[in-house]
Amino acid sequence: MTAVLAIDQGTSGTKALVVAADGGVLAQHQVEVHPMALGDGAVEQDPEELWQSVLSAGSAALAEGGTAVDAVALANQGETVLAWDRASGTPLAPALVWQDRRAAAVCERLAADGWDERLAALTGLELDPYFVAPKITWLREHVTRDGVATTTDTWLLHRLCGAFVTDAATASRSLVLDLDAVAWSDDACEAFGIDARTLPDVVTCAEPVGETTVFSDAFPGASARGALPVVGLAVDQQAALFAERCFEPGEAKCTYGTGAFLLATIGSTARRSTSGLVTCVAWQLPGTGPGGVQSPDTTYCLDGQVYTVGAAVSWLAEIGVIEHASDLDRLGSTVSDSGGATFVPGLAGLAAPFWKPNAHGAFTGLSLATGRAELVRALIEGIAAQCAWLARGAGDDLGAPLTRLRVDGGLTQSRVLMQVQADLLQAPVEVYASPHATALGVAAFARLGAGATTTAAEAVGSWTPSAIYEPTISRDQAEERLQTWRTAAEATQSL
């Protein structure tokens, strides 16, 4: 295999990379997409815009690279859901973005019937509108009962190559996957009113699922043989975990994008969290058991989420406190602390470890001395504090604190944020050397699935951090700041 077209279809944009056999990036192109926050917790996207962004970004990257590729890999944004006609591939309504909170009432109804603990034991997930199944139920009750309802990856793959599949990592974000069996659960499906027969087949992250000619049609030099195999599938955060070589239990990464997502590998057993995190499939690879029987090899991870991170920075710009994300460092570095101000990033509810979908964001501790710099610093510290609590939860579940945290995403460019994160973690923060962790992760899955490599380590290759941040405050200082933030976060849940 010489090169892979790796597509990362995300919340705010679609990125396409031409990735060489050694993991080097030969070309890249990004196309913005535009999620719409509509009030009452609604966040929607135009499915056709997502599809056109995949075509445009992929074709432009191929044109820039000027080289043929051997496969197409696809990463997806996770819990975004749409209804569509399986025969024609036509969307039947806007897509519900993972941030959409309108299914909160569905979750409350099921919790009142005792389903919260049953679903956590079965699926490893909290009963929260963030996940897929509540959105499907809300969609069916309020929008349309026609067609099939799936995550966006299944729809995009159907348009690419006619397959009706989702990978195991994405499926584990659904609230209807039996986490131990890695198969759809009839019991969980019944709770949400979902017919399991309408759900896509669950496949590994590294197997061919079909062939596509859409890029060959748009860019004649895309493939030397015309049709391209589609191989290498994963939800975005798990793809980044793979790219950053978090193969062993206790190795963890955090992505700072629209939200922040901390994942820690736990190995081949799907142990459930007792610290407010969730357990998911990290990745599943094809394998062979005794007697040559095909037996997929599954790795699991703990997962914690902060819903509004880059989104909180954008909000700060929209209300005029800052002009650009670069102001995080320009203003945040002018003060040593927030002057008593605290920010809780609950602008779209609070995820782990609280799971309060109706919680609100808040600035607290304000005074007449609070200025723009203090507000920016409070936002930085609030994001880092919630991530630090996620890391603490992962350490508690694993039986030992995390000894380092690998990080990626656009906000890792903020030196102030990364330093505060290391301070509150009391552990080194290692910045991934590329801004393309997700796309590089699915490219590595593609190399495995196409047989170009035989091990995960070989498929990913080695990397060296572009920066390492060490703690600069004492453990006691970090603990005091974390407890102050926790008190504020818990107070906002009753607002």
- Do the Cβ atoms of 345 and 307 come closer than 8 Å? yes
Fold of 3-240: Nucleotidyltransferase; domain 5 (3.30.420)
Position 288 pLDDT exceeds 80: no
Confidence of residue 287 (pLDDT cuts 50, 70, 90): confident
Contacts of 400 (CB under 8 A, 6+ apart): 250
pLDDT of 234 reads 98
Average pLDDT over residues 14-20: 97
Q: Do residues 390 and 350 lie in contact, with contact meaning Cβ atoms separated by under 8 Å?
A: no
Range of weakest confidence among 217-226, 402-411, 482-491: 217-226
Q: What is the pLDDT of residue 289?
A: 53
Q: In this predicted model, which residue has the larger pLDDT, 222 or 185?
A: 185
Per-residue pLDDT, averaged over 67-93, amounts to 96
Domains 3-240 and 246-431+465-495 share a fold: yes
For every residue of 101-127, DSSP letters joined together read -TTHHHHHHHHHTTHHHHHHHHHS--S
| Residues of the chain by 3-state class (helix, strand, coil), percent to 5 | 35, 25, 40
Q: In what order do the strands lie in the sheet with 95-96?
A: 36-39, 42-45, 95-96, 81-84, 148-151
pLDDT category at 66 given cuts 50, 70, 90 is confident
Residues 6+ apart with CB under 8 A from 88: none
Higher pLDDT, 44 or 493: 44
pLDDT band at 291 (very low <50, low <70, confident <90, very high): low
Q: Convert the pLDDT of each residue in 414-470 to its tens digit.
A: 999 999 999 999 999 999 999 999 999 999 999 999 999 999 999 999 999 999 999
Band (pLDDT 50/70/90 cuts) for residue 292 is low
pLDDT at 290: 53
Most confident range (mean pLDDT) of 63-67, 182-186, 312-316, 352-356 is 182-186
- pLDDT for 295 equals 76
- The SS3 of residue 198 is helix
pLDDT at 294: 64
CA distances from 436 to 17, 55, 427 (A): 8, 19, 24
Where are the chain's structural domains?
3-240, 246-431+465-495
Region 248-260: mean pLDDT is 95
- Counting residues of the chain whose pLDDT is more than 90, the rounded percentage is 88
Predicted pLDDT at 359 = 87
Query: Rounded CA gap, 24 and 12, in Å?
Result: 24
Report pLDDT digits (tens) over 191-242: 999 999 999 999 999 999 999 999 877 677 677 667 899 999 999 999 999 9
Overall average pLDDT of the 339-356 stretch: 92
Q: What is the mean pLDDT of the chain?
A: 94
The answer on pLDDT for 495 being more than 80 is: no
Could you give the strand order of the β-sheet that contains 3-9, starting from the edge strand earlier in sequence? 25-32, 13-20, 3-9, 71-76, 228-235, 208-212
Beta bridge partners of 343: 363
Q: What is the dotted CATH code of the domain comprising 246-431+465-495?
A: 3.30.420.40
Residue 232 to residue 431: CA distance in whole angstroms: 24
